[in-house]
Amino acid sequence: MLARLRADLHVHTREAEPSIAYSARDMIVRAARASYRVLSITNHDTITYSDDLASFARDHDVLLIPGVEATVEGRHVLVYNADVEADKLRTFADLRRYRTPEWLVAAPHPLFPASYCLRERLWQQIDLFDAIEFSHFYTPRIDFNRPAVKLAAAVGLPLLGTSDSHLDEQFGTTFSLIEADLSVESVLAAVKHGRLSIVSRPLTLSRCLSIVARQALANARVAVRARLRPTSPAGETILTPR
């Protein structure tokens, strides 16, 4: 009998996104403590994955799946188990050219009102997608997941619950229980065949606003630090301690 694996296949870490407070290892440790068995770090346009990091995850009884939130023609697309670098996935034609049966392609927050969301491009490129995300970011009254749920049902695609964590408080708000063996191939196949369920609860409006405000503040701090960083005169090198 297959296990029901607690999984979050959409989280971000500071390795590629300096506004985030925690590292990939921090996230793995936190996931393990919360009984997660599967995790994918999906930083923007960067695959944060290595054999060493995967081994660290295994030591914590967590399966780490390679993933990336690629920007494809200005829209966000989740890609898992890709065997090419993220910078090769700039157009939907690229995605169509490189995609293999071993990949999983999912539509993150697809019908939210943001320019980077897929929106009409999801309809136009629907054959490229294996799953549609059910986002954590909704309230009982404001819920842009609703049209995504209807679309998924209409086209026969599974829903994948994720936290899209950029902040500590987002992790654990929405996740998936995937019926699979603890391997990349088994987990991705289970998602494609809809052998999963979503665990989620709506956020309060005040919590949604807090998340938006905290993300904006974190991004602003990074921008200020970048502007204040000293520039080197010609021929001089500044070494910044890590």
Confidence band of 231 (pLDDT split at 50, 70, 90) = low
Look at residue 240 in the predicted model and tell me its pLDDT: 45
Contact 53, 25 (CB under 8 A): yes
Report pLDDT digits (tens) over 130-173.
999 999 999 999 999 999 999 999 999 999 999 999 999 999 99
Look at residue 77 in the predicted model and tell me its pLDDT: 99
Position 238 pLDDT exceeds 50: no
pLDDT mean across residues, the chain: 94
Structural domains of the chain sorted by starting position, each given as residue range(s) with its CATH number in brackets: 3-228 (3.20.20.140)
- CA 198-203-207 angle, to 5 degrees, is 145
Largest CA distance in the chain: 65
Of 144, 128, 140, the closest CA to residue 92 belongs to: 128
Taking phi over 0 as left and psi of -120 to 50 as alpha, with beta for the rest, 75 belongs to: beta
Position 230 pLDDT exceeds 90: no
The fraction of the chain above a pLDDT of 70, given in percent, is 95
Look at residue 228 in the predicted model and tell me its pLDDT: 85
Look at residue 242 in the predicted model and tell me its pLDDT: 41
Range 23-50 average pLDDT:
98
Q: How far out from the chain centre does Cα 182 lie? A: 19
Q: Of all residues in the chain, what percent are helix, strand and coil, respectively (each to 5)?
A: 35, 20, 45
Q: What is the DSSP letter of 148?
A: H
Pairing of strands 131-134, 104-107: parallel
Q: How many CB atoms lie within 10 A of CB 120?
A: 11
Determine the Cα–Cα distance for residues 94 and 99; give it in Å rounded to an integer: 8
DSSP string, 62-128: -EEPPEEEEEETTEEEEEES-SS-GGG--SHHHHHHH--TT-EEEESSTTSSSTTS-THHHHHTGGG
Range 210-231 average pLDDT:
87
Position 95 pLDDT exceeds 80: yes
Report pLDDT digits (tens) over 65-87.
999 999 999 999 999 999 999 99
> Residue 172 carries which side chain, given as an amino acid letter?
G
Confidence band of 229 (pLDDT split at 50, 70, 90) = confident
Contact 123, 92 (CB under 8 A): no
Of 156, 114, 120, the closest CA to residue 135 belongs to: 114
Determine the Cα–Cα distance for residues 106 and 26; give it in Å rounded to an integer: 25
Of 67, 58, 155, 57, the closest CA to residue 103 belongs to: 67
